[in-house]
Amino acid sequence: MKLYNHPMAPNPRRVRIFAVEKGIELELENVDLLGGQSHTPEFLAKNPSGGVPVLQLEDGTYLSESVAICRYLEGVRPEPNLFGRSLREQVEIEMWNRRMELELLMRTGSVVVNTHEMFRGFLTQFPEYGNAQRPVVQQRLERMDRELEGRQFIAGDRFTIADITALVAIDIGAMLAGIKPGPELKNLARWHHTVSSRPSASA
């Protein structure tokens, strides 16, 4: 299967990590987002929302939205399980994945796109709004540190899609927004070391 990808954007990285965890090899085709390639008629035919990742399935059709793509990969390759087995476990993991996405990844994304010079000229930036999200992200990281007290992973005692979302969010925040969780957040540092040491983290 082919994944329309960007080497730095956080959402394609979620899918790349997920695929490595599954042992699924994806053919990567990079899309020049800042060059406008995701908004060409040709690309919009694949994903009318004009973003990556987009997965081309075996039958030639296209699927977008990171979590939908990951769920598809879980369906075609159920092990190792990353979305939960019982109904109760599934919804618990979904709750945590959404918390990491809405409260951490999207907030961090708001800082990045509204403050980083890379996006100047590409979109209208609202730096005051973006900078106001920094302390919100910082507080969420501090809360994560408390949540990870006595708990090995984000959603409990095993690695799930929620860890992937959190890892990608923290790494993009450190790289493009200068938000680096300090070493005093010991549980968070321990978790980050653990998940960053998995082979999938280099995807």
Q: Which residues bind its own copies (CB under 8 A)?
A: 48-49, 63-65, 67-69, 71-72, 75-76, 87-88, 90-92, 94-95, 98-99, 103, 106, 124, 126, 128-129, 132, 143, 147
Which three-class secondary structure state does DSSP give residue 47? Answer: coil
Q: Which tokens go with 8?
A: 């730095």
For its own copies, the closer CB: 42 or 197:
42
Least distance between its own copies and beta carbon 175 (Å) = 22
For its own copies, the closer CB: 44 or 196:
44
DSSP assignment, residue 101?
A: I
45's enclosing H/E stretch is: none
For its own copies, the closer CB: 113 or 170:
113
Q: Rounded to whole angstroms, how far apart are CA atoms 73 and 23?
A: 10
- Alpha helix segments (H runs only) across 50-201: 66-76, 87-99, 106-115, 127-147, 161-176, 186-196
For its own copies, the closer CB: 30 or 49:
49
Least distance between its own copies and beta carbon 22 (Å) = 14
Rounded to 5, what percent of the chain is helix, strand, coil?
Answer: 55, 10, 35
Q: Rounded to whole angstroms, how far apart are CA atoms 64 and 57?
A: 11
For its own copies, the closer CB: 75 or 183:
75
Least distance between its own copies and beta carbon 130 (Å) = 9
Least distance between its own copies and beta carbon 84 (Å) = 10
Least distance between its own copies and beta carbon 44 (Å) = 10
